[in-house]
Structure 1
Amino acid sequence: MAAYSRRQFVTGASAAFAAAALTLGDARYASAATRDRALALSAARAVQSAGTTLEQVATPSASGPYHRLAAGPGWPLVVRTDLVAGQSGRDDRRTGLACFVQFTDLHLADTESPARFEYLAQYADGAYRPQETLTVRGASSLVERVNSLSGGPYTGSPFSFVIATGDNADNHEQLELDWYLTVMSGGSITPNSGDLTRYEGVQNSGSTAYWNPESSLQDDYKTKAGYPQIPGFLTAAGRPFDAPGLHVPWYTTVGNHDDSIEGTLPDLGLLNSLYTGDRKLEGCDDADAAKLAAALQNDPAQALALFVKLLDNGPVRRVTPDARRVPFTPEQFAQAHLDPSYTGAGPVGHGFTASAASSGKLYYTFPVAPGVVGVSLDTTNRAGWADGSVGTAQLDWLESVLQANSTHWYDTDGNVVRGGSTDQLVVVFSHHTSSTMGNLLPDPYNLLEARHSGSEVVTLLQRYPNVVAWVNGHTHANQISPHPHAVAERAFWEVNTASHIDYPHHARVIEIADNGDGTLSLFTTLIESAAPYATDFSDTSDTGLAALYRELAYNDPYATPAQKLGASGDHNTELLLAKPGA
């Protein structure tokens, strides 16, 4: 864990438990007594904590190889003063300014699609996940959790909106996009494709390389990781269910899996017939798998050629064709959000406009709260690779937005520039993090435009004191990073949240508060889905499946739960920063 300038828990003038420390990995306190004191202090500062990880957290059993989950002690609040020191008594002076929820990396997956690389799981943990048939139910259970909460734990403010920061679909399919929009807005969903009366994917392939849940086959997941046999699992996973939809407005940010084939290969329209066709490659030998995995990391064009070659020579399963699997364009992505069927709690378009549907420009601004504006960026690069960047036109647009909402800023030489008459706090949203925006390949759809890295975006944001946070996903890990500056008001926080397909299946409540002393506080509180922690292998109800989704993900032998979980300072935090102009 990164060293903090001060690590303490504060309530009014008291800092009695400042010495409490968390260990890495499992985030447990050095002693139960210390943990309990810190939890009590966190609860005392909160307006409400029920239904959040301040109250309880999914905790694995010590036995293995397959670990059952149960409810464990919650995670206390960690005060981070990397950017500015906190002053005593701020709880009594605090005024809530904004409160919202971040979803990210839902990866709603059509697991029967021919355009998938499950056989690369040993090289890329996202290629195949044993829990992936349950992504839609898992996301709907997360929606249920948000609907059950009355507001933020530390300000008590109701949620203004939910924003999903990219990789909402897993493989760039129209069907997956439809599922995402229905999960968010509410309605009936059948999380199945092709022949809706049966499952046609690798989990009933008879290959020992995959978990075959309904079969007695002793596949690698059962023999090495202790996965159970669950009769009726695949049938239950694909049956229709009613998604409640969010009760609050919601917005969408685009991610690389929404934009590219498997989030990596450029979509040049060459594989549309494969997506919608009847040939599904279910495996290849280790040598070919290693070559393809390396190409996906280093040469998207070569990866595409290798994939087509393997399809002509490898073990191919015939599946039921489905035209709904066709990939969507950026224009179609925006247009789908404008469909009245998916308005739900609003707003119309969920950030996207008719102009976006015409131009394919998927970046926009929206109101977060009075005095606070949100900026949603498109950090995907249609040249391929998983990481991102932004084009010059978008970077220039971002600067124009910052200037329009700032009374003053700093030029590139550090001189103060006086600007507009309004000064709003700014929260930036994107899929990629600042450290995963080094993909500067030319955009094949705009070859003459330069691409810009995450470090360039950070430099720009630090010229505008009213930028308080950059909220993102992509890494599937909880990580909160300060972006300090010699001029205190030019610093901001970057808040990166874990995915909802890989364990720990988190979303994050974010509250912005004015402490009345020249500082602001950003409270970040992790939440889990509404599914119970305990599972029952004989329970294939919607609730039972949502619980299995979390537990199967924890036990994925190719995943790294401890790394993705993050450390104590990446969980429930109070992030202090200087108020601009104070």
Structure 2
Amino acid sequence: MVPADPARAFLTEPEQVAIVAGDGDGHGLDAAAVALGRAFYTFDVAGTPLRFLVMNTSSLTGSSQGLIRPVDLETVIGPQLDEALAADKWVIVTSHHRSGSLGDGQEFGIGTQYDDALTTAQWQEFLGGYDNVILHLAAHTHRLMVEPLQPVGGHAYWEMVTPSLNDFPSQMRVIEVWDQDNGALTIQARALDMITDDDPLAELGRTLAVADSTSGWENDGRGTGPDQRNVEPWIAAPE
């Protein structure tokens, strides 16, 4: 049991956003995010046309699946993408949940069900409406994945998933976007091992990740094959 502590309490999302934004450099959260009370924000990569759109896709009432509703598109996501399009920015959308991990806010009878929640196909179709979106970078599935998406009647883009360091083989990705100067971009993604030398906690984490994998508790974080790990997908450069 965890001992009771009157100084410890659950935080609402607006409270969390305000605390993180007020710490150091704000970790990317700006005044607009604080005013919104949700962790939606953008940042640019200096000297490049790249812009990241960071989204909070968590369901606030309990489901582990992602939740995106029309109100999110209308008030935050759509305006941010419209602004990026007008500024000739190439967008990498990033969130915890990939498109295939979206739900309606309820899971195992827990949480609030939203009948207007976007489905996987609807979210992909929405992103496909912006030809400056080159990548949706996500997680949640606990394994390395990369998949080309071609929404019906929309623009093709890539979806890339990276697991946690808690998942065997405890790897992270380094992602680089290269302009090939021929009308195409390449998205280089390489899986890297973490160093555990002289770090007992990191070594324990790797040991537990191996135990989880060999016991069948977790999926193999390496994905379904080598073509999901060190990859270099191509995409047409936005005009």
TM norm structure 1 = 0.37
- Corresponding position of 1:429: 94
- Taking a change above 3 Å as real, the CA distance of residues 403 and 339 of structure 1, as seen in their structure-2 partners, is closer
Report if the CA contact (8 A) 1:476-1:497 is conserved.
Answer: yes
Identity of aligned residues (%): 27
Residue segments in structure 2 that go unaligned for 5+ positions in a row: none
Higher percent of residues as strand: 2
* 1:446 CA drift (Å): 9.6
Q: Map 1:183-332 to 2 at 5 A.
A: 280=1, 320-323=3-6, 325-332=8-15
1:440 CA displacement: 4.5
Residue in structure 2 matched with residue 374 of structure 1 by the alignment: 52
Q: Is the alpha carbon distance of 1:552 and 1:456 closer, same or farther for their aligned partners in structure 2, counting shifts above 3 Å?
A: same
Q: Which position in structure 2 is the counterpart of 1:89? A: none
Contact 2:144–2:162 (CA under 8 A) maintained in structure 1: yes
Residue 438 of structure 1: SS of its match in structure 2? Answer: coil
- 1:364 to partner: Cα distance: 1.5
The alpha-carbon deviation at position 438 of structure 1 amounts to 2.1
1:405 paired residue among 84, 88, 91: 84
Structure 1: tracts of 5 or more residues without a match = 1-279, 281-318, 407-419, 533-541
Partner of 1:545: 201
Q: Which has the higher contact order (CA 8 A, sep 6+)?
A: 1
Which structure: larger Rg?
1
Task: For 1:389, give the aligned amino acid.
Answer: L
TM-fit CA distance, 1:402: 1.9
Does 2:200 match 1:575?
Answer: no
CA–CA distance in structure 2, aligned partners of residues 504 and 570 of structure 1: 14
Structure 2 Cα separation of the partners of residues 402 and 470 of structure 1: 13
Distance 2:17 2:80 in 1: 21
Compared CA separation, residues 485 and 519, structure 1 to 2 (3 A) = farther
- Partners of 1:400 and 1:355 lie apart in 2 by 13
Shift of 1:558: 4.4
Matched, 1:394 2:72: yes
Aligned with residue 462 of structure 1, among 91, 107, 128:
128
Q: Deviations over 1:255-298 (max 9, x none)?
A: xxxxxxxxxxxxxxxxxxxxxxxxx2xxxxxxxxxxxxxxxxxx
Distance 1:447 1:531, change over 3 A: closer
The residue that corresponds to 2:165 in the other structure is 500
1:431 aligned counterpart, secondary structure: strand
Mapped to 2, the partners of 1:359 and 1:518 lie a distance apart of 37
Q: How far did residue 499 of structure 1 move? A: 1.1
Report the number of matched residues: 231
Amino acid at match of 1:336: I
Q: Which of these residues, 487, 509, 525, is aligned with residue 174 of structure 2? A: 509
Match of 2:17 among 326, 334, 353: 334
Q: How has the CA–CA distance of structure 1 residues 448 and 548 changed in structure 2, closer, same or farther, with 3 Å as cutoff?
A: closer
Verify the 8 A CA contact 1:465 1:490 in the aligned structure 2. Answer: yes
Structure 2 distance, partners of 1:386, 1:359, is 23
Paired residues of 1:511 and 1:523 also in contact (CA < 8 A): yes
Query: What letter matches 1:374 in structure 2?
Result: F
